[in-house]
C-alpha cells in the first residue's frame, strides 16, 4: 500500500519553499480558514469541490486500483502531505502538486483537504508539477519521457542538467527520451502497458520503420519476452536488404552482440553500434557536444 510520505529534500531542494511554520505558536503549520485573507505559504482547508486540475499536469491517466489503495491509506491516516495549489481568484484553486491525493480524497468522501497556497509563473508551475510526478514515479514511460522533454524545453536544459534536476541518472533520461521516437501507435501501446520500455528499445534498435512495425506486431501477437524481442530484432536486422537488393551472403549477427549493444546504449545513454563478430570488431559511440563527449570520457575513464 502506498505511504503518503513527503518528498524530503527532492522537490524543496529544486524549488525552494519558505518555512511555513514560523508564525505557529505550537511549532506546526498555522491553519487559516479559507474565508480569511490567505497569504502565500499559508496552509488552509479547502473544499475538494473547489480544487480544479492543473492544465499542465503531465499525468494524463490515473490507475483506478492505485487510486483505490491511496484512498484507503487516506481513510486510515488522513492526508499527510498537503496539496500545493494556487488561488485562481474566482473562489477556486488550481492544483499544482497533489492531483492523485485530491482524486483519492474524493473517493473517500472527504469534504475538505489541507492545501498550501503558492504563486508561480506559468513556467515554474509546470516545473513543480513535472518534477513532483517524476519523483513520485506516477507516470507511465511515455508520460515520463514527455515530462523530461518539457523540462528540457522550458529552461533549455541538457539531458544531464535535467537528470540533476529530477534526481535521475543521465542514462535514464536519455533512454526515456528515445521512446518519443516511436510511432504514435507504439507509444499508445506503452501507455496501455502492452509494450514495455525493454521491448521498445528492441524496436528502436531497428532503423527501418517497416521492420520496426513487423517486430512490434510480433511482440504483441506472440507475447514475446524482451529477450526474445531482442533476438528477433537481431534476426530482422541481419536479413535486411540494402537498396532493395539482397546482400550477397549476409552475415549472421549473434544475438549476444545485439544484447551487449543495448546494454552499452542503456549504460552510456547515447547511440552505440557494435560492428563485427564475437571475435573481432569495432564499437562506435556517438556524441553530440563537447559536454556530451566529456561526460562519456568520465564514464569510460
As annotated, the active-site residues are 99
Taking the mean position of all CA atoms in its chain, how far away is CA 176?
7
How far apart are the C-alpha atoms of 268 and 206, rounded to whole Å?
19
CB atoms within 10 A of CB 25: 6
Contact criterion met (CB below 8 Å) for 67 and 61: no
DSSP class of residue 283?
Answer: E
Nearest to 170 by CA among 268, 301, 37, 29: 268
Run of H or E including 48: none
Per the structure block, which three cell numbers stand in for 35? 474565508
Cα-only R_g, the chain: 24
280: cell is: 573481432
Phi-psi region of 17 (alpha: psi -120 to 50; beta: other; left: phi over 0): beta
Amino acid at each position: 500500500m502506498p505511504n503518503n510520505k513527503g518528498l524530503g529534500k527532492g522537490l524543496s531542494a529544486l524549488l525552494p519553499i519558505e518555512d511555513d511554520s514560523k508564525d505557529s505558536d505550537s511549532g506546526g503549520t498555522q491553519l487559516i480558514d479559507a474565508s480569511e485573507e490567505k497569504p502565500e505559504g499559508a496552509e488552509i482547508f479547502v473544499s475538494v469541490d473547489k480544487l480544479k486540475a492543473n492544465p499542465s499536469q503531465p499525468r494524463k491517466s490515473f490507475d483506478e486500483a492505485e487510486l483505490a489503495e491511496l484512498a484507503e491509506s487516506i481513510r486510515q491516516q488522513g492526508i499527510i502531505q498537503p496539496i500545493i495549489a494556487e488561488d485562481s481568484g474566482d473562489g477556486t484553486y488550481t492544483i499544482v502538486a497533489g492531483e492523485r491525493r485530491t482524486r483519492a480524497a474524493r473517493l473517500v468522501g472527504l469534504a475538505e483537504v489541507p492545501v498550501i497556497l503558492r504563486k508561480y509563473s506559468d513556467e515554474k508551475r509546470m516545473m513543480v508539477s513535472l518534477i513532483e510526478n517524476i519523483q513520485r514515479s506516477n507516470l507511465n514511460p511515455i508520460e515520463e519521457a514527455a515530462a523530461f522533454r518539457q523540462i528540457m524545453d522550458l529552461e533549455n536544459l541538457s539531458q544531464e542538467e535535467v537528470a540533476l534536476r529530477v534526481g535521475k541518472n543521465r542514462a535514464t533520461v536519455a533512454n526515456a527520451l528515445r521512446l518519443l521516437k516511436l510511432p504514435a501507435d507504439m507509444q499508445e501501446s506503452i501507455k496501455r502497458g502492452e509494450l514495455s520500455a525493454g521491448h521498445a528499445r528492441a524496436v528502436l534498435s531497428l532503423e527501418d520503420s517497416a521492420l520496426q512495425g513487423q517486430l512490434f506486431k510480433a511482440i504483441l501477437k506472440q507475447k514475446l519476452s524482451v529477450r526474445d524481442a531482442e533476438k528477433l530484432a537481431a534476426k530482422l536486422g541481419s536479413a535486411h536488404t540494402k537498396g532493395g537488393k539482397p546482400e550477397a551472403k549476409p552475415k549472421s549477427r549473434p544475438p549476444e552482440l545485439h544484447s551487449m549493444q543495448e546494454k552499452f546504449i542503456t549504460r552510456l545513454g547515447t547511440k552505440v553500434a557494435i560492428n563485427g563478430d564475437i571475435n573481432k570488431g569495432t564499437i562506435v559511440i556517438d556524441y553530440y557536444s563537447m559536454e556530451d563527449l566529456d561526460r562519456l570520457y568520465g564514464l569510460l575513464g
